[in-house]
Amino acid sequence: MPQSIRVIVAEDQAMVLGALAALLETEPDISVCDRAANGRQALTSVAKHKPDVLVTDIEMPEMTGLTLAAEVRDRYPQTRVVILTTFARPGYLRRALDAGAKGYLLKDRPAAELADAVRRVHQGLRVVDPDLAAEAWDSGPDPLTERERQILWRAGEGKSSLDIAGELHLSEGTVRNYLSEAISKLRAANRVDAARIARSKGWL
């Protein structure tokens, strides 16, 4: 009998985590070797169990699914990552693929598609929600630099330029310059509007 595909599931909502793990466990060729409630816990679990596939949400405490995917790609390349999320945003898909994810599925897809995606990714294939892939193709590239993204995300959380400067060890003037550049690129009215636009596109 072929060896089971070993999977770790990372999801910060306990009920969803339990449901996903239970769903995958019903498959005869898949075994869930661990569950994680946040990104950092998931990375520790990958280091310990060396699974074939990691299924992870994007927005989680401690470490996002996108950061987690990049860490797994760089440190544990034998583990393939599937992003499972509610966010049908082209920017998220592009960033997930850039971070090394091999799969990107939406949570409203039929349950059987998740197990199928795990199998296909394990075989070395890439699995992307078809509707979202078409939308991402048409949406254009992310115009923000990583630093602009870091600053705009904090500004969208309501932090002042002074607070952001302190967190990122920059001068307040430098933070303002980055914000101005981001606002200009997004053709936004102000920093709050820029954060809203970027978030809706999946660029934050």
Q: Which is higher by pLDDT, 65 or 131?
A: 65
CA–CA dist 181, 29 (Å, integer): 50
Place of tokens 């904090």: 154
Q: For 35-51, what is the mean pLDDT?
A: 96
CB atoms within 10 A of CB 87: 19
Q: For 61-65, what is the mean pLDDT?
A: 89
Fold of 146-201: Arc Repressor Mutant, subunit A (1.10.10)
pLDDT class for 200, splitting at 50, 70, 90?
A: confident
pLDDT class for 88, splitting at 50, 70, 90?
A: confident
pLDDT at residue 138 tops 60: no
CB atoms within 10 A of CB 122: 20
Both tokens assigned to 103: 């799969």
The whole-number pLDDT of residue 109 equals: 82
The whole-number pLDDT of residue 134 equals: 56
Query: Which residue, 29, 27, 86, 31, is CA-closest to 9?
Result: 31
Q: Which is higher by pLDDT, 149 or 8?
A: 8
Cα dihedral sign for 30, 31, 37, 38? negative
Q: Does domain 5-138 have CATH number 3.30.2130.30?
A: no
pLDDT class for 87, splitting at 50, 70, 90?
A: confident
CA–CA dist 170, 166 (Å, integer): 7
Q: CA-based diameter of the chain, in Å? A: 63
pLDDT at residue 130 tops 90: no
User: Could you tell me the residue ranges of all domains in the chain?
Assistant: 5-138, 146-201
**Which phi-psi region, left, alpha or beta, contains residue 15 (left: φ > 0; alpha: ψ -120 to 50)?**
alpha
- Confirm whether pTM is higher than 0.75: no
CA–CA dist 108, 85 (Å, integer): 9
pLDDT at residue 141 tops 80: no
